[in-house]
Structure 1
Amino acid sequence: MNVRRLIPAAALAGAVALGATALTACSAGSAGGGKDGKLDVMSSFYPMQFLAEQIGKDHVKVATLTKPGVEPHDLEITPKQTGQLGESDIVLYLKGLQPAVDKAVAQSGVKHVVDAAELTKLEVHGSSGHDHAAEGEEGHDHAHGEAGEDPHVWLDPVKYAEVAKGVGAALEKADPDHAADYRKNTDELLGKLTALDTEFKDGLKNTASKTFITTHSAFGYLAERYGLDQEGISGVDPESEPSPARMKELQAVAKKDNVSTVFFETLASDKTAKTLATDTSLKTDVLDPLEGITDKSQGADYFEVMRSNLKNLQKALGSK
């Protein structure tokens, strides 16, 4: 797929380092060494891909390591993908979410690497003391930073905007010839994210309940931003099985906090959510952690799915 496969990586790195003068030999004076003159961007998963596409627009060619329908936390990288990664002009990823990606990026030798975790402040989230990092389920705490930080920053429009700013600056640096366009596109995106934040703020201001139960604890930032309480059935890994004690605890929470709905998601099994809903006579609905877009998603892109999430939360929480 990569049009620069025949150009040695070392030569490309040298061309980038030489600056705009040497780069005029590449198509249209762009930092992208491809025949089409576009900047080759490799993203780790959908939220990073979306930022690259929105900010880069016609100046970039974006690929992603996590194909639609694949659960990002469990991603294994193929040798072919490792090769594509090494040939990219710029890599966008979120360290601590996908261990296989972290390892591949560290070994890639790509000059422009953007770690979204460094563009905003990561926090530790739990639900009623049910902290991800303290789960004790083997292999699940590896998907966080060392302090058990929550990586799901893109589900908070304000934090996602901070990441967008950093991605825009990185694209400007990697491809200075189109810096003005990247800046304009970044500003447009920030405006849309600000509007989305306002919609969530207004839409969740007055609700009958503040507590929502969801399959995995991806919504800590969103809950904190809009004054809600997240109760995750499992931790960061949506496929992990909760203990019988946790299920009992959630039944009590549902009763106490007037919870009407148990949320499940599109990329993971809904079995546990439906079991809990049946045991507590609750409804089920979708709350999408937006780790990938498929034909089952309630929307075609980040903004559409986030607005579906808002609508589903309003309905479940009894928005007035």
Structure 2
Amino acid sequence: MKPNESLLMFRERAIQFYKMYEKIFIAMAKFITVIYMLIEINSTIGYAPLLTRGYMIGVIACIGAVLPIQYIMIGAMFIITIHLLSFNLFIGLGMGLICLCLYIFYIRLYPRESLVIILTILAFRLNLHYAVPIIAGLFGGFQVVVAILIGILSVFSIQCIEPIVQVALKAEDSLKLCLDSLNIIGTQVVQNPTMLATMSILLVVFCIVFIVKRQMIDYAPYMAIVIGGAMNMLGFVIAILFLNVQVNVLLMVVMSILSVVIASIIQFMSKSLDYSRSETVQFEDEDNFYFVKVVPKIKVQVDCTKIEKIYTGHNKQDAMEIEE
């Protein structure tokens, strides 16, 4: 068997195995995501003691494992609001208002895209956020851009919670707390060059991957992945040199390459095409002329090998066992 044939055979078997236990895999992924998300929330703003207990984290994670992804996002916003309400009523109400606006204007309209917000936030913690625009450009539409930008904004907003908490402990009245909080948000979030550069670069990477992937050329998705990874590294190098952005260059390069590898694996597992048999089809009707490129999918028949084993017993009776 040729190496490419064995790889395609492995892909087919992996897909079949996933389809057999799809619900279990999805539930496990949700369970792990919710646990990781709760740990991060509790380590940053764990002001509600009940929500930081281990058994409560387990119960919430079990509930999240069976809920649609948009409700996980809503639950995360609710938990964050409860934590901040436990610390300060004014800060909690402000966060609740922001979460309500986010739900009304985005999550309610694009429930599936709320997954991208969660993945963007978690990917930042793992330094794999470079993979988010590449994967989103391969499989999503332009509405995903808003989710990526919201995720980036959320990551950098979390960093200013600690300074706001320190201000709240010293504030004499609500007006001073409001003004000081807005000042912190303005200086550490809105005017943060690292956040603005990250938003701009990841947006450009998404657009490049989205456009290149849809070109009528062979191996367009893989070309889009490589170009997107290269543009990501180039963009951050330029930002470091000219915009005084604080990014670890070596870590950025390594994680960008790893992101390209991850995106390539996901693309290969989702769709395998035989570009050697691609062809261009032209036809027309009364109103339109059609110019279509056809690339057949690679279909591999998983062999069902039968092995016949013959065992000879001491009583001179033969037993035959057939294993598939």
TM-score normalised according to structure 2 size: 0.25
When Rg is computed on C-alpha atoms for both structures, the one with the higher figure is 2
Question: Which of the two has greater strand per residue?
Answer: 1
TM-score normalised according to structure 1 size: 0.25
